[in-house]
A and B are shown apart, each in its own frame.
Chain A
Amino acid sequence: MKFPSTNFQRDRIILILILLVAAFLRIWELDKYPPSLFIDEVSNGYNAYSILKTGKDEYGNFLPLTIRAFGDYNPALSVYLLIPSIAVFGLNELAVRFPSALLGTLTILVTFYISLKLFKNIAIALLSSFLLAISPWHLQFSRYDHEANFMLFFSILGLTLFLYGLKKHHYLIFSAVSFGCALNSYHAAKIWIPLIVVAVIVIYIRELKKIKRKVFFPIAILAISAIPIFLNIQNSLIRAQSVAIFSKEKNSVEIFLDGYLSHFSPRFLFIEGDFIGRHSVNGMGQLYVFEAPLILAGLMFIFARKDKINSKKLLLCLLFLAPIPAALAAPTPHALRSINLAPAFSILSACGLYALVRWKYRKSLKYPVLFTIFIVAAYNIITYFHLYYRHEPLLKAADWTYGYKQMIDYVNSVKKEDQTVAITSYYGKPYIFTLFFTKFDPKTFQLTGHNTEQIENYEFFGSSWRKRNNKSAILARPPWQIPQDPNLKILKKIQNSAQELFFVITEE
């Protein structure tokens, strides 16, 4: 891909710097921030470990096309992408999150190329990639192993390769492969990919008609990539049935419209963000406040241009189609299911900033406006990082199922051989945390027939646990399950630096 620029060397250096910043922000202390692995991350990680060691997932399915996780069946690609990372780093937080961080960084590079292709303007392309590199929305999910981030990377890559493929036709094959990967990465992609593929075909129909024969093979690849979904269609629909609005609500059309529009709510975008704890930082929206006027300026910039009609249409399609998968489910607004909005807003903000810098009228107003935006931006960005690294680990520890690792590490260090360890299931599915943090042999676990009530000496209980023999046992419970007994031997309390108590470990 060419790099059209008047100052090639300078622009290449700027791009490399942006990528380094993006990589640093996504990889630095990845094992500590967010404060712990969420249950889905643990599940993905252990299943990847299990497939690496035995070729089978935790349920004993050989190289599954969908991964069963707590009653849902998820597309498997994101789990398979963890395998090389776990092979290199071992089964730990860094290994689980690294692929998402890496693909998040590569998304910045792809956003650069798609902006460059859309607007043929190096400044807009560099600004788009920079704004996405520091975007709270994108950073939040790049540091979190979630299939949505993989979907975002592959779908943006697919779009970019498609645009370059209109001239260099072999790129269309890679575009189809990327879209196929996106389709097999996340549930929402089953709605998103068909929508965006149809949109690009409609927008670029003239160009595609000229290369008719060269389009058949990519379409075939796309069709083949949909086979795993159809082979597991019933299992794939389980998740949809639990969250979709049309299966449950009477006034579903109104709920869909409200859900769709809520993704453009200024409060969601700039002030409060997603109310799900892991999806945003307390006290901030999904985007920076300074991006609000830039997005408005960007929209004006796009509508005012008489050229690049197809580019405008594609960007607007990205913007207006992205919330649809999220709006079809509850709750809304949902930052994860609408993650495809993040690069669209970055590109718009970049267009707006470019338009403001190039503004020729009322110059007396231009420089004070730019200066104000710069000051607000600097404060906004620094505050975000302060909130993310200082406040979030304390305020959102429970959202990230904090405490399991510390509890299991401690219990393993003090427990005697054959001593029973009983762990509460209050925080949800303790078996998977035990498997992960003890690096339990997957083959042994598969042979138990997926027993989630007991793993060797580890037992998992609901509201109470009954001892089966006279031997001492170690119990790990939340503080409100601890009996009022002055003779109770408390070994350790697992709490975070905000003194929030998660587990009390006792010996009985």
Chain B
Amino acid sequence: MKILFVIFFTILLLSVKLMPLPQCSLRMAIQALPPRIFQQTTTDSSTQNPLITRFFHNKAGIFGSEFGKCYLNFFDPVLIAKNTLYIGLIPWAYFIYSLLLRKNLILISILLILPIIPFMEINLPVIYLHKLFAIIGFVIYMKNKK
């Protein structure tokens, strides 16, 4: 019976149309640097000590912000919900919870590295992994359920 539920859930999730990640890459992050630097340093005004301007507004910080946007797109709950038919969001969260509870550092590290793949413009459909995580989470839940 549990197996039937898992199969049904898997078919349901695989039938959901994929919502792709927003366009966001290393190239775009680098392109965003000059206008953002210009905007922020101009706002700071020319009378401010250049060291202070550099401290607050620098390429590292802006690149970090752009990278953060791209990286966190992968973990956007709306994106995950749309790719797992909303109901898959709970088993997805359960999968992450199980990983953290078991302190499975290797899998956690792989999970944290995954968003870097689309950022580096490597053509791998990592977005499908949300469906896989939801299915695995559902399987773990059904296995733990007495």
Interface residues of A (CB under 8 A from B): 257-258, 261-262, 264-267, 270-272, 283, 289, 296, 300, 303-304, 382-383, 386-387, 390-391, 394-395, 497-498
Whether B68 contacts A271 by the Cβ 8 Å rule is yes
Chain B 71-102 interface residues, beta-carbon cutoff 8 Å to A: 72-73, 75-78, 81-82, 86, 89, 97, 100-101
Q: Which residues of B contact A390 (CB under 8 A)?
A: 43-44
Chain B residues touching A, majority SS: helix
B43 touching A261, Cβ below 8 Å: no
Q: Which of A264, A267, A270: most chain B Cβ within 10 A?
A: A267
* Residue from A264, A266, A296, A383 with most neighbouring chain B CB atoms (10 Å): A266
| Among candidates B44, B65, B78, B100, residue contacting A265 with C-beta atoms closer than 8 Å | B78
Q: Total contacts A to B, CB within 8 angstroms? A: 53
For B40-56 the 0/1 string (1 means CB < 8 A from A) is 10011100000000001
Known: A265-B77, A267-B76, A394-B43. A257 touches B86 (CB 8 A): yes
With contacts A267-B73, A270-B68, A271-B65 known, is A391 near B78, CB below 8 A? Answer: no
Q: Report which of B56, B78, B101 forms a contact with A262, defined as CB distance below 8 A.
A: B78
Chain B residues engaging chain A, CB cutoff 8 angstroms: 40, 43-45, 56, 61, 65, 68-69, 72-73, 75-78, 81-82, 86, 89, 97, 100-101
Judging by beta carbons under 8 Å apart, are B68 and A257 in contact? no
A383-B56 in contact given A391-B43, A395-B43 (Cβ < 8 Å): yes
When distances are taken between beta carbons in the complex, the residues of chain A under 8 Å from B100 are 296, 300
Task: Decide yes or no: A261 and B81 within 8 Å by CB, A304-B101, A390-B44 being known contacts.
Answer: yes
A266 lies within 8 A of B56 (CB): no
CB pair A266–B76 under 8 Å, yes or no, is yes
> Chain B residues near A283 (CB, 8 Å)?
40, 65
For the complex, what is the distance from the CA of A296 to the CA of B56, rounded to whole Å? 27
Q: Report yes or no: A498 in contact with B78, Cβ–Cβ below 8 A.
A: no
Q: Which secondary structure characterizes the binding site on chain A?
A: helix
Name the residue of chain A whose CB is nearest to the CB of B77: A261
Q: Output the nearest chain B residue to A383 by Cβ-Cβ distance.
A: B56
Beta-carbon nearest neighbor of A265 in chain B: B76
Nearest B residue (CB) for A254: B86
A257 surroundings in chain B (CB, below 8 A): 81, 86
Contact A303 B97 (CB under 8 A): yes
Give A304 to B101 CA distance when docked, in angstroms.
8
- Report the Cα distance A391→B40, complex, angstroms: 8
When distances are taken between beta carbons in the complex, the residues of chain B under 8 Å from A395 are 43
- B19 smallest CB distance to A (angstroms): 11
* Contact A261/B73 with A386-B56, A390-B44 known, Cβ cut-off 8 Å: no
Give CA–CA (A300, B78) in the complex, Å.
22
23 chain-A/chain-B pairs, Cβ below 8 angstroms = A258-B82, A261-B89, A262-B77, A265-B78, A266-B72, A266-B75, A267-B72, A270-B68, A270-B72, A271-B65, A271-B68, A271-B72, A283-B65, A289-B68, A296-B100, A300-B101, A303-B97, A383-B56, A386-B56, A390-B44, A394-B43, A497-B45, A498-B43
A271 to B86 alpha-carbon distance, docked (Å): 24
Nearest 4 A-B pairs (CB), nearest first?
Answer: A266-B72, A261-B77, A261-B78, A264-B77
User: A394 — which chain B residues lie within 8 A by C-beta?
Assistant: 43
Most-contacted residue by chain A among B40, B61, B77, B86 (CB, 10 A):
B77
Residue of chain A at shortest CB distance from B72: A266
A151 to B137 CA separation, bound complex (whole angstroms): 38
* A258-B82, A270-B68, A304-B101 given; 16 more Cβ-contact pairs under 8 Å: A257-B81, A257-B86, A258-B78, A258-B81, A261-B81, A267-B69, A271-B65, A272-B69, A283-B40, A289-B68, A300-B100, A382-B56, A387-B56, A390-B44, A395-B43, A497-B45
Q: Is the CB of A271 within 8 A of B101?
A: no
Assess the B78–A271 pair: CB atoms within 8 A: no
- For A269, the closest partner residue in chain B by CB is B72
What residue of chain B has the Cβ atom nearest to residue A284's Cβ? Answer: B65
